[in-house]
Amino acid sequence: MKRIALLLLLGLWAGPLYALDLLELGPRGQKWNKIRESSRFMAVAADSIWIWPAEPRANLAPQTLARKGGIYAEVLREVLPGFLGPALAKKPGLESWIDGDAATAWNPEEDEELGRQPTLHLDLGATFRVNRIRFHPRLDEEHRGLILGSFDISTSDGTVAAALTAEYKSLFSYTETFPNRQTVVDRSFTSRDVRYIRLSSQEKEAWEIAELELYSDGTLPTGEFTSMPLFVRGGSPVWGQVKANGEDLNRLPFTLQTRTGPDEEPLVYYIKRGDELERVSRSDYNNVALRRYTTIGVVEEEQGPILPNPEWSPWQTVSDGLVLSPSPQRYLQFRLLFSEPGLVLRDLAFEYVRRPLATALKGEISPLEVEPGVETEFTLSLEMQFDPGRRDTGVRYLQVLTPAVVSQVERVLVDDQETVFSAAYQPGEGFTVDLWQRVVQAGSFVQLVFRAALFRDGTPFLVRAVDLRPEEGGLETVYQTVREGDVDPFSVGGQLVVRFRTPSQKLVQALGKGKALITPNGDGINDFFALSYGLFMLIQPAPVTLSIFDLSGRQLRQSYAGADLSGQYTQLWDGTDAQGHLVPPGIYLYRIEVDADTGHHSWQGTVEVAY
């Protein structure tokens, strides 16, 4: 739920947020290429990151040089004093293969070093999904016979950032025994991720290529950019809203994830000396591998495991433009996932406040296992620590974001004493509790007792503390996410995720239905058959239909309920067929069907119609 929606819900209006600070990436802030820890299938410059356009059936080769790619010949060069090794070299005229001009060509005999059997590498400059390759010599009478008959073509996806050392996968080949006889080689194949194309000739006769064409299927592999852990001077910030290219994140087709921690090492590195493991820095870890390959003699250390740092939070997806990772923490790391061709990101701005609501917020929920679709009483327990030396700490509102169907918040306890509160519900999103009086006492123990039904295994309960601070010109809305922790000695788990007690629960289950006998005569009594049903474990919306059949199996009526997510729903049947005519008295079959990503699922039963 967006900030303005929350303020309207609370009946408040926040004026200009003058006290918010910004961490900016892009032209007006830290440069993308300076804060990159890693990237995959992405282009990165100082002022922007992007994935290239990919139109279906478009020839990718002519834009190779614009993408900073190139075409090279594999040659032998002195890689170390006295040692020859393979290297890539530019060759005059070779770029005519990708210039889009069928009247220009290159053949290996133009270069004294190569001969008729060279290996050539084309670097597209980015990774695309390719499903067709085409090449040919010049097609005039003089040159059309210069066919490349014996060769192998293989591709690599660009995971390794060097064409020469990439792992190649064969695409197709012709041999001297079974040579190519076509002037124009044109092959379609199942789409594969391609950045590098390697052409190895075994041809003994003269040959040339005028154009080498690679065609896109219109899609790209998901691009990924991961920042270095970023530090904000001036304490431990509480992160809030994020904007990209000056817009709300939900308007842009990418995923942003964050994690936070107390230091600059979200991963822990170990080296192994004999049977002992020693924790080291990332640079020392990498130096171990370097010494093993460059040092003559025995090196006692070897690289050990790389493990998540337990002091860092796991990756969490930014929701409704708000950072959900725990605060306050001194470091923030983010990860961007791009999937739409042609997407460019220039500006990314993280809002934060330097003064957290609390020095620590921990929470857990109980019970941790429930029956699917059954309304259950839950207790959400929170421990709050405040800095007694500050007067601007404290919590007034608690926001619980969850897809569970919440029916009622029954009571709120502060330090085991029931307190006055009010609750506002947002179906499918959770609820917000107004505590009426701010909680400010260090070590406060707050419990929310509420009833809810779950329709997804592993249902999360994301909890945020919210307060409004007076600032110049208005009020400042401050959020702080609650971190999982064991705060209630009488419960077990210390988690904010609830699982199904029966994980094999069916996707579709009837929870209840109207009377199995209906009398659709218009008297207002039993005129409708009401079928209530639950959908479980749906991650993406799935089409749902209700069909009515007679006992011979003939379909009489079908209603489309649209695409639904996990939850509880009700559909009605008024006893009519597809033409709107009342069906004769008798027994009828009904069937609920869901086309989910896990397959086709259904549930069925009977209903009697009488007059």
What the block records as the tokens of 467 is: 């307060």
529/513 Cα distance (integer angstroms): 8
The CATH number of the structural domain formed by 508-609 is 2.60.40.4070
450/238 Cα distance (integer angstroms): 28
What pLDDT, in 10s, does the model give residues 35-71? 999 999 999 999 999 999 999 999 999 999 999 999 9
Comparing CA positions, the residue from 377, 566, 562 lying closest to residue 455 is: 566
3-state secondary structure 428-478: CCEEEEEEEEEECCCCEEEEEEEEEECCCCCEECEEEEEEEEEECCEEEEE
How does residue 12 score in pLDDT terms, banded at 50, 70 and 90?
A: very low
602/593 Cα distance (integer angstroms): 4
Q: What does the DSSP 8-state code read for residue 294?
A: H
CB 141 within 8 A of CB 215: no
Residues 6+ positions from 177 with CB-CB distance below 8 Å: none
The residue to which tokens 């890539």 are assigned: 88
575/552 Cα distance (integer angstroms): 17
How does residue 7 score in pLDDT terms, banded at 50, 70 and 90?
A: very low
Q: Which residues pair with 143 in a beta bridge?
A: none
Gyration radius from the chain CA atoms:
32
pLDDT at residue 16 above 70? no
List, as one string, the DSSP characters of 41-89. S-EE-SS-EE-----TT-B-GGGTGGGT-EEEEEEEEEEETTEEEEEEE
Share of the chain above pLDDT 70, in %: 86
What does each C-alpha distance from 408 to 8, 366, 424, 437, 535 come to in angstroms? 21, 16, 10, 21, 21
Q: What does the DSSP 8-state code read for residue 249?
A: G
Task: Quote the pLDDT of residue 391.
Answer: 66
330/324 Cα distance (integer angstroms): 15
Where are the strands (E) in 265-330, listed by range?
Answer: 267-273, 276-280, 301-308, 316-317
57/460 Cα distance (integer angstroms): 43
Share of the chain above pLDDT 90, in %: 41
CB 278 within 8 A of CB 293: no
The CATH number of the structural domain formed by 52-219 is 2.60.120.260
Task: Quote the pLDDT of residue 18.
Answer: 35
What does each C-alpha distance from 202 to 174, 211, 446 come to in angstroms? 9, 19, 76
53 CB neighbour count, 10 Å cutoff: 18
504/501 Cα distance (integer angstroms): 9
Comparing CA positions, the residue from 320, 309, 351 lying closest to residue 251 is: 320
CB 412 within 8 A of CB 433: yes
Average pLDDT over residues 223-248: 86
Q: Which helix (H) or strand (E) holds 408?
A: strand 405-414
133/320 Cα distance (integer angstroms): 42
Tell me the longest C-alpha to C-alpha distance in the chain: 101
Query: Do 360-500 and 508-609 fold alike per CATH?
Result: yes
Domain covering 360-500, topology:
Immunoglobulin-like (2.60.40)
pLDDT at residue 2 above 50? no
Average pLDDT over residues 193-197: 95
Residues 6+ positions from 142 with CB-CB distance below 8 Å: none
Q: What does the DSSP 8-state code read for residue 584?
A: P
- The overall average pLDDT reported for the chain is 84
Comparing CA positions, the residue from 10, 92, 410, 70 lying closest to residue 212 is: 70
How does residue 201 score in pLDDT terms, banded at 50, 70 and 90?
A: very high
Task: Quote the pLDDT of residue 239.
Answer: 84
Coil, strand or helix at 282? helix
Interstrand relation of 599-609 and 517-518 (parallel, antiparallel or unpaired): parallel
The alpha carbon of residue 179 and the mean position of all alpha carbons in its chain are separated, in whole angstroms, by 46
Domain boundaries, the chain: 3-49+224-266+309-353, 52-219, 267-308, 360-500, 508-609
Task: Quote the pLDDT of residue 354.
Answer: 76
What pLDDT, in 10s, does the model give residues 304-328? 888 889 889 889 888 778 888 887 7
Residues 6+ positions from 414 with CB-CB distance below 8 Å: 435, 439, 444, 445, 446
